[in-house]
Structure 1
Amino acid sequence: MKIAFTGGGTIGHVVINMALIPEAVKQNIECIYIGSKTGIEKENIKTQFPDIKYFGISSGKLRRYFSVENLKDVIKVQKGVADAYRVLRKERPDIVFSKGGFVTVPVIIAAKMLGIKTIIHESDVTPGLANKIGLKFAAKFYTTFEETLKYVPAGKADFVGGIVRDDIFTGDKAQGYQLTGFNQNKKVLLVMGGSLGSKNINTAIRENLSSLLNDYQIIHITGQGQSDESFSQPGYMQYMFVKEELPHLYAITDTIVSRAGSNAIFEFLSLRKPMLLIPLGLDQSRGDQIENARLFEEQGYGSVLQETDLTSTTLIAALEVIENNRLAMINKMTHSRLSYTPAQLLQKILDDAKQGD
């Protein structure tokens, strides 16, 4: 058995593939990865899985609006199909697993041309443009949210819920306190602005730092190039990004302030961490995080503060709502349906790959 994984452009289009690959390797399944030539997926896959063959292909951006650049990108996508066709014809995987992002469209089209079955996984409530296009050529479409099923033909769609990496449960509180130097008797607030960080969230936290430090110790994941040592003080720890430290930081965290990317918020849910979600606005996205956040708030897992409403005053007020409803939120999360582990999802992929053979 050989699986070709594809997905890229953002860490959200890579992280589930990164959770599945070790499970596949355990079962002696050969894995290859098809991504862009310079995207975030290339760095992550080559760093984490140096033994996995990585193939970079041409990739154009898919836009929902008219632009002269669209003409150039049509050519890039066509070249990407040719690139992917050559890779797939040579490697002959049994199945393609696609996580989304512009780079996946040429791969899915080439797989269809070669008669290779494709399974797509959609993280958000509403499918992204790349996955909408890919759906036409795919055999199966997995959804993270049950609400997504209404956007997909019934015969193709399966609701699998959020996929949560096993390693997030391996955090050790002692290591978390050692990493931060924090006091075990005071609550910890974890702030994350997504893979690139958020200038607006960072500013709101720093403007309220003295007030917040009365109630919390703060772990602030700022994003690349956005840390500011002038704010350094006891009880406030800044990281531009974290990798192996994250499970230990989760272990000591009481409350989380975060964007509302699907992969991240399902991690918070599985760890029973009350969350204040500040989704990317319509000026920066197609609104997928707004929908993700709305559904989590409706189910009682956290509260939502729109970025357009984010001020020093509203941030403090929103965190007070979290603290006043902490036990109710944890109770709701405890009784939630958590979905598939990476091992369970891999088994479903393998079962679906065999159907119709």
Structure 2
Amino acid sequence: MKIVVSGGGTGGHIYPALALIRMIKMKHPDTSFLYIGTEKGLESKLVVREDIPFKSIDITGFRRSVSFENVKTIMRFLKGVNECKKMLKEFQPDVVIGTGGYVCGPVVYAAAKMNIPTIVHEQNSVPGLTNKFLSKYVNKVAICFEEAKAYFPEQKTVLTGNPRASEVIEASGVGVLEKYGFRTGRKTVLIFGGSRGARPINDAVTGALKDLASRQYQVLYVTGEVHYEQVSNMLNTIEKPENVAVEPFIHNMPDVLAACDLVVARAGATTLAELTALGIPSILIPSPYVTNNHQEKNARSLTDREAAVLLLEKDLTSGLLMKELDAILMNDLRLSKMKEESARLGIRDAADRLYAVMAELTKKGGHSS
């Protein structure tokens, strides 16, 4: 099978695409891929690093306010469609999948107009503008949250989950905690605010360090590289608790997750896919700075099923964070119940599900809408 993949802008769109490619390559090594993105986006670095054939187009997203820039965006879109048609004609894909971000617009639209089977993959519970637009033209819309069904044509929508989940289930937490000076057999919580960190989460954690020192559980606290120096300087003025390890960034995140009993994090779609795939309970602090407040809606899909606890950033304090940590980690029955509910929500075979959708479309051949 020959597959064109497109996704860009943020890691939330790119990492699921890369996970899908890796999983398909592992199980179907004769598959060929072409990734279409933008040179300015993060995908140009991440995709090339994976040794995946990469081509780029020049495209920007629509501004939500009235702006002359939107006229330029329309012109770039039309030009991008023409460029994509040439790329698709040359590569001759069996199927095209977009994983989100404005770069998918011209790529998937061009494929649909050429009667090439098409899929969009929506990671969040509330879809972005591009995927809502493309849903009118594609054969299938793959979703990760049941709540997303309401935004798409029912007959096209299929629940597949996030391919990132298919990768993390291979992770092993054996021997990971010892690298941070921790003891095995002791409950462990991981706290992080994304790759860049989050100041409100950092403030809550640093304010709670004295209380954490008296707890039986241990804390792996990831500041984000931007905030690490500031936090380190603060730690130099106090006695850092022996049960707390502080890191700027975690490179082997799946293995670390697999070793933890509880996670405190934002509510990005990829993070939630990883947590539920591994059956890990969480305290979720959604970023309030995202489109359509989708992180809070993502989080509620877990909290409504008691797999997680929701803390809004505006309410976050050191005291409230400690209260919730204690309420979960010092109550074995509740911790066990949350683990069960988290695992119940996990879709561990997401990559296989997506590949099955692709295979079915290629059997039918051509565009159906």
TM-score (norm 2): 0.88
Report whether the alignment pairs 1:70 with 2:78: no
CA distance in 1, matches of 2:222, 2:313: 18
In the TM superposition, what is the alpha-carbon distance from 1:122 to its structure 2 partner? 0.8
In the TM superposition, what is the alpha-carbon distance from 1:356 to its structure 2 partner? 4.5
In the TM superposition, what is the alpha-carbon distance from 1:298 to its structure 2 partner? 0.7
Report whether the alignment pairs 1:276 with 2:268: no
What is residue 224 of structure 2 aligned with on the other side?
223
Report whether the alignment pairs 1:135 with 2:135: yes
Report if the CA contact (8 A) 2:84-2:110 is conserved.
yes
Report if the CA contact (8 A) 2:162-2:351 is conserved.
no
Which of 44, 47, 52 is the aligned partner of 1:45?
47
- Aligned runs of 1:85-104 on 2, under 5 Å? 85-104=85-104
CA distance in 2, matches of 1:194, 1:6: 23
Which of 266, 270, 274 is the aligned partner of 2:273?
266
Deviations 1:188-217 (A, max 9, x none): 221121243222212221222222243242
CA distance in 2, matches of 1:166, 1:340: 6
Report whether the alignment pairs 1:312 with 2:318: yes
Given the superposition, is the C-alpha separation of residues 77 and 238 from structure 1 closer, same or farther in structure 2, using an over 3 Å criterion?
Answer: farther
Report if the CA contact (8 A) 1:198-1:222 is conserved.
yes
Report if the CA contact (8 A) 1:188-1:219 is conserved.
yes
Which structure would you say has the larger RCO, counting Cα contacts within 8 Å and 6 or more residues apart? 2
Report whether the alignment pairs 1:58 with 2:67: no
CA distance in 2, matches of 1:23, 1:252: 23
CA distance in 1, matches of 2:270, 2:61: 23
In the TM superposition, what is the alpha-carbon distance from 1:292 to its structure 2 partner? 0.9
CA distance in 1, matches of 2:75, 2:281: 46
AA at the equivalent of 1:236 = V
CA distance in 2, matches of 1:352, 1:320: 49
CA distance in 1, matches of 2:44, 2:21: 14
- Aligned runs of 1:1-357 on 2, under 5 Å? 1-26=1-26, 27=28, 28-47=30-49, 49-50=50-51, 52-215=52-215, 216-228=217-229, 229-230=232-233, 231=235, 233=240, 234-243=242-251, 245-281=252-288, 283-323=289-329, 324=331, 325-336=334-345, 338=347, 340-357=349-366
SS at 2:226 equivalent: coil
Deviations 1:224-281 (A, max 9, x none): 42213223744433333333x2232123211100111122112111212110001111
AA at the equivalent of 2:336 = L
In the TM superposition, what is the alpha-carbon distance from 1:16 to its structure 2 partner? 1.6
In the TM superposition, what is the alpha-carbon distance from 1:336 to its structure 2 partner? 4.1
CA distance in 1, matches of 2:245, 2:83: 45
Per mean C-alpha deviation after superposition, the further-off stretch among 193-202 and 68-77 is 68-77
Deviations 1:32-55 (A, max 9, x none): 1011112112221112x21x2111
Given the superposition, is the C-alpha separation of residues 61 and 168 from structure 1 closer, same or farther in structure 2, using an over 3 Å criterion?
Answer: same
Report if the CA contact (8 A) 1:11-1:40 is conserved.
yes
In the TM superposition, what is the alpha-carbon distance from 1:85 to its structure 2 partner? 2.4
AA at the equivalent of 1:75 = M
Given the superposition, is the C-alpha separation of residues 142 and 173 from structure 1 closer, same or farther in structure 2, using an over 3 Å criterion?
Answer: closer
Unaligned 5+ runs, structure 2: none
CA distance in 1, matches of 2:68, 2:218: 49
Per mean C-alpha deviation after superposition, the further-off stretch among 63-72 and 251-260 is 63-72
SS at 2:100 equivalent: coil
Deviations 1:153-211 (A, max 9, x none): 12211122344444423444443123212122432221121243222212221222222
AA at the equivalent of 2:222 = I
CA distance in 1, matches of 2:105, 2:170: 35
Unaligned 5+ runs, structure 1: none
Report if the CA contact (8 A) 2:160-2:353 is conserved.
no
CA distance in 2, matches of 1:168, 1:13: 17
